[in-house]
Amino acid sequence: MKKLRLAITGMTACSGCQLSLLNCENELPDLLEKFDFSFFPLASSPLDLIGEYDASIVEGCVSMPHEKKLLLELRNRSRYLIAVGTCAVFGGVAALKNDEEREVLRKQVYGSSSIVESTFRPLPLNNLVQVDASITGCPPEKMELLRLLGGLLAGALPVDSDYPVCTECRIRENICLLTERGELCLGMLVSGGCHARCPSMAVPCEGCRGPLPEANLREALRIYAEKGFDRETVFARLRRFCPEWRL
């Protein structure tokens, strides 16, 4: 069987999503037999983009001209372009300051240095190119990445989660941090797939996997209000990872 050619790279991000794949130590030997990681700067010496790719897996949002150029080239060379991680899908933490002046922010971070001469408002990938599939999470779970690669081998793409983190809490028989402890936990509004990792350790869900499209927002806000959390407080927390999440 011919190996699939992959391009894996990051834009404005922390590289955590790519590291999650590299952390699949036990599975990496098998992956190397099935995939040609043709462009993967985090894992090998950077090379130029060469030829066509069966899929490009991209982490991070886009905030600089050279990132936009790379993203467009990857889109043109790839059968599939897949956004991986909350920053790539929703903008993430990098987009928290999108309402502020970019040049002021650049000077605050870089001072008079010319390392970064130009930035623009951080954007999720689908604001610039067609995205064929996405996996959210900060970072995604390792098994999600392995399922993504397994699906590519079978000619299939991942589908979005259609259940909330709360469902996974119930499966794991966790106590409800909102109703039983009065803590602001966002699980009922956030896409599942993390196996309720944080609530299982008694840490409220911060919403890092982004919004569940079919969530019953009206009922959720009613429950939050009963626990003393007003609408603005809830949405301020939701926007940490999805800045475009509006009232």
Residue 109 predicted with pLDDT over 90: no
In this predicted structure, what is the pLDDT of residue 120? Answer: 87
Weakest mean pLDDT among 116-120, 182-186, 213-217, 239-243: 116-120
Give the model's pLDDT for residue 245.
79
Q: Which pLDDT value is given to residue 246?
A: 63
Tokens representing residue 219 in the block = 């009922």
Average pLDDT over residues 146-159: 95
- Tell whether the model's pLDDT for residue 204 goes beyond 90: yes
Q: What percent of the chain has pLDDT over 90?
A: 79
> Is residue 193 scored above 70 in pLDDT?
yes
Strand partners, 59: 10, 84
Question: 4-153 is classed in which CATH architecture?
Answer: 3-Layer(aba) Sandwich (3.40)
| pLDDT for the residue numbered 134 | 96
Residue 42: burial class (beta carbons within 10 Å; 0-12, 13-18, 19+) = middle
Rounded to 5 degrees, φ, ψ at 28 are -55, -45
Mean of the pLDDT values across residues 55-83?
97
33-54: average pLDDT: 92
Enumerate the β-bridge partners of residue 57: 8, 82
Lowest mean pLDDT among 24-33, 116-125, 127-136, 167-176: 116-125
The pLDDT of residue 24: 94
Mean pLDDT of the chain: 93
Q: For residues 191 and 136, is the Cβ–Cβ distance under 8 A?
A: yes
**DSSP-assigned letter for residue 60:** S
Pairing of strands 53-59, 35-39: unpaired
Over residues 61-74, mean pLDDT? 96
Instruction: Give the three-class secondary structure for 235.
Output: helix
**What is the model's pLDDT at position 161?**
86
For CATH 3.40.50.700, list the domain ranges present in the chain: 4-153
Identify which of 70, 52, 53 has the alpha carbon closest to the alpha carbon of residue 61.
Answer: 70
Does the pLDDT at position 247 exceed 70?
no
Residue 12 scores a pLDDT above 80 = yes
b/e per residue 85-118 (b: at least 16 CB within 10 A) = bbbbbbbbbbbeebeeeeeeeeeeeeeeeeeeee
Nearest alpha carbon to residue 85 among 58, 123, 63: 58
pLDDT of 113 above 80: no
What Cα–Cα distance (Å) separates residue 217 from each residue in 170, 195, 245, 247? 19, 22, 12, 10
Where does the pLDDT of residue 46 fall: very low under 50, low under 70, confident under 90, or very high at 90 and above? confident
Neighbouring residues of 81: CB distance < 8 A, sequence distance ≥ 6: 55, 56, 58, 74, 75, 125, 129, 130, 131, 132
pLDDT per position as a tens digit, 118-145: 788 999 999 999 999 999 999 999 999 9
